[in-house]
Amino acid sequence: MPPDDRKPRRFPLQLDQVASPRAGGGRTPIGSTPAPRVSREVLRPQAPLHLAERDRQRYTAPQGLGLDSAHVRMRMVQRLQAEGINHAGVLQAFATVPRHLFVDTALVNQAYEDTSLPIGLGQTISKPSVVAAMIQLLCVRPGLIQSDVPGVPGSTKPLGNCLEIGTGCGYQAALLGHLARRVVSIERLRDLHHKARSNLDQLRAVVPTSPDVRLVYGDGMIGHAPSAPYDTIIAAAGGAALPQAWLDQLAPGGRLVAPTQDERGGQVLVIVDRLADGRFQHTRAGAVLFVPLKSGTT
């Protein structure tokens, strides 16, 4: 059993604590927002490389199952469900996108474990449980007009126009594609940007119905104004503060989920809802540790 399975569960977050706009609204300084569920233990979606390497050696390959088998993937989906991921669209996306296509050949036997894995250039693919929890938070944004009910037009695309910062290997972008009308994903490392493009091409060869994702090579700290405003914004890297561009590019009714630094120098997951009148509501959702958000491109 992976060691993380024995840790106390932190997700899903108590959505009643994060979903309803504060009475009176208003933009709340992040530092003054009470944390609804700040866990004492830091959630590490992207382990440092030496830990990812340790995990690589520790986890055993699923026995007797083809690595590209939908069966192995379904076991991951069942684990996510057991952890409280209950949004049908999110579970469906995880059941559809083959994670093993996004990791190096030498690591495919760990692809369906709940662990981060190295993807090159000092970066890692995030843990499925953290990715699922963040995407689910976006899917249940209070500003979603059409409820996610079968038969309601648009209900299968709860992420609307979605911006991802930190494409990495492209796995999360592929998941978002199943839940969004459009996904724009930005990566600052040129080689990873190209790797994600080739991974997504490979995905379309295997799963021809995979939605298209727009990949942008650039500095995600400035967002991507040409496709703004976004109904949902998700960041896979955390900086000292939320870039103003992200807030400016968030549509009314939209939600942003991103790691950011807290006043003690740690990292917390922050949820920002832009209310219908344009004001912002910030909520904290627990301690995390993502790779750093860096400016510029390489």
Residues tagged active-site: 126
Told to check if 117 binds ligand SAH by CB under 6 A, we report no
- CB within 8 Å of 141: residues ≥ 6 apart: 19, 158, 231, 232, 253, 254, 255, 273
Closer by beta carbon to ligand SAH, 129 or else 172: 172
Q: Does 171 participate in binding ligand SAH (rule CB under 6 A)?
A: yes
**Residue placing its CB nearer to ligand SAH in the complex, 139 or 221:** 221
Structure-token pair, residue 103? 């990791």
Q: Which amino acid is at 7?
A: K
Reference 140, options 33, 252, 14; nearest CA is 14
Q: Is residue 269 close enough to count as binding ligand SAH by CB under 6 A? A: no
One residue of 110, 123, 210, 261 binding ligand SAH per CB under 6 A: 123
C-beta separation of 115 from 4 below 8 A: yes
Q: Could you say which of 188, 224, 255, 284 contacts ligand SAH (CB under 6 A)?
A: 188
Tokens of 35: 């944390």
Residue 237 interacts with ligand SAH (CB under 6 A)?
yes
According to the binding rule CB under 6 A, does residue 261 interact with ligand SAH? no
Q: Is 169 in the site for ligand SAH (CB under 6 A)?
A: yes
125 scored as a contact of ligand SAH (CB under 6 A): yes
| Min dist. Cβ of residue 111 to ligand SAH (A) | 12
Q: Is 291 among the residues that bind ligand SAH (CB under 6 A)? A: yes
Q: In terms of CB distance, is 19 or 217 closer to ligand SAH? A: 217
Interface with ligand SAH, residue 11, by CB under 6 A: no
Residues contributing to the site for ligand SAH (CB under 6 A) = 46, 119, 123, 125-126, 165-166, 168-169, 171-172, 186-189, 192, 219-221, 236-237, 291, 293-295
